[in-house]
């Protein structure tokens, strides 16, 4: 065997996991424990990076996301799974599997793929929002509601769906104001207005021009007309930008939702492309860390079973 052939063989994996967040590391842990040769390619851009802590994960409630991922990487490494900080830029189907090209120039082969590239939150272009996102500018009451409970909430409406967000956050505060921002009052239905009134949500028309910050704390929301409304926490609705580029390259079927286009998957997370699986925010906007871990486990265990049966059937044919 030539050196080139050896190198090519060494670059062949049972599974390549694209994305080293909660879903990808969970999948890698299962693959390592199943004695499968796996590679995790991680660009290092987790969705929850702005958050100081993650909540709602039993036994890990309040743990910093970076600490959680570091522990996960250590566990995965203990089972011999290779991890590389790089970005997968191209994928293609080939004989018996897939080829994956990395930004650093490396090209690897895999019998199966798990794509856990997540999504990016595109925030409203309001001064101060991006800088304070994950602190006193938040989007999910299940993620942050307990920490900001009973504060004065402001909800910045970017679509009529923001009415639902404003109603939801009333579970964590009795003082909620919905700033219509880019939504005209005429876009709200009579039922919307009745519900908001019944929930005690104040509705304020007009574009939001910025946030008032004093001593590193939000104290108000400033409208374009110059008026300031006292608030201490602001909820926004980011536009979800799913990172589905690799799945699209492979021709995976996507379905449109109010929160972006996501792959059509079976219960194990397999896409319409045989041998290609996904988990976490790559398959849905509402996937929390706990869901991502579960999805990664599910996809990896399905792949392990698939590989074992494929090898058994191949030996029978041989």
pLDDT tens-digit readout, 143-201? 999 999 999 999 999 988 899 999 999 999 999 999 999 999 899 999 999 999 999 99
User: In this model, does residue 10 exceed pLDDT 90?
Assistant: no
| pLDDT tens-place string over residues 74-128 | 999 999 999 999 999 999 998 889 999 999 999 999 999 999 999 999 999 999 9
Cβ atoms within 10 Å of 265's Cβ, excluding its own: 22
Is pLDDT at 2 greater than 80 in this prediction?
no
259-317 residue pLDDT tens:
899 999 999 999 999 999 999 999 999 899 999 999 999 999 999 999 999 999 999 98
Query: What's the rounded Cα separation, in Å, for the pair 170 and 160?
Result: 17
Task: Tell me the C-alpha distance between 75 and 138, whole Å.
Answer: 31
What is the model's pLDDT at position 100? 98
Determine contact, residues 54/63, Cβ cutoff 8 Å: yes
Residue 5 confidence (pLDDT):
45
Q: How confident is the model at residue 3 (pLDDT cuts 50, 70, 90)?
A: low
CA triple 81-263-298, angle to 5 deg: 40
pLDDT above 70: residue 1: no
* DSSP one-letter code for 50: T
**Position 7 confidence tier, pLDDT thresholds 50, 70, 90:** low
The answer to whether 83 and 73 are in contact (CB under 8 A) is: yes
pTM over 0.85: yes
Give the C-alpha separation, 207 to 150, whole Å: 25
* DSSP string over 246-301: HHHHTT--EEEETTEEEE---TT-B-SSTTEEE-GGGS-TT--HHHHHHHHHHHHH
Torsion, Cα 139 45 25 31, to 10 degrees, reads 130
pLDDT digits (tens, 9 = 90+) for 24-70: 999 999 999 999 999 999 999 999 888 889 999 999 999 999 999 99
Read off the pLDDT band of 6 (50, 70, 90): very low
Question: What's the rounded mean pLDDT across residues 254-260?
Answer: 93
- Say if residue 318's pLDDT is above 90: no
């Amino acid at each position: 065997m030539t050196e080139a052939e050896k190198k090519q063989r060494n670059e062949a994996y049972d599974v390549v996991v694209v994305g080293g967040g909660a879903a990808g590391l969970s999948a890698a842990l299962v693959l390592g424990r199943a004695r499968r040769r796996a590679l995790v390619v991680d660009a290092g851009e987790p969705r929850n990076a702005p958050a100081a802590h993650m909540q709602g994960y039993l036994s890990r409630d309040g743990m910093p996301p970076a600490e959680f991922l570091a522990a996960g990487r250590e566990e995965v490494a203990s089972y011999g799974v290779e991890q590389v900080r790089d970005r997968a830029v191209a994928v293609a189907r080939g004989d018996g599997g897939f080829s994956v090209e990395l930004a650093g120039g490396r090209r690897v082969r895999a019998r199966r793929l798990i794509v856990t590239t997540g999504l990016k939150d595109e925030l409203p272009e309001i001064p101060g929002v991006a800088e304070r996102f994950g602190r006193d500018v938040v989007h999910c009451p299940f993620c942050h509601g307990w920490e900001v409970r009973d504060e004065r909430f402001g909800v910045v409406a970017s679509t009529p769906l923001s009415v639902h967000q404003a109603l939801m956050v009333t579970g964590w505060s009795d003082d909620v104001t919905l700033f219509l921002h880019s939504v005209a009052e005429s876009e709200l239905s009579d039922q919307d207005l009745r519900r908001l009134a019944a929930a005690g949500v104040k509705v304020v028309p007009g574009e939001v021009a910025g946030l008032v910050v004093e001593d590193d704390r939000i104290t108000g929301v400033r409208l374009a007309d110059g008026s300031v409304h006292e608030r201490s926490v602001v909820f926004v609705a980011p536009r979800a930008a799913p990172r589905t580029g690799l799945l699209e390259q492979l021709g995976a079927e996507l379905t449109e939702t109010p929160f972006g286009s996501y792959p059509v998957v079976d219960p194990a997370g397999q896409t319409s492309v045989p041998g290609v699986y996904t988990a976490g925010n790559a398959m849905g906007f509402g996937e929390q860390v706990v869901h991502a871990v579960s999805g990664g486990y599910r996809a990896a265990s399905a792949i392990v079973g698939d590989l074992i049966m494929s090898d058994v059937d191949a030996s029978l044919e041989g």
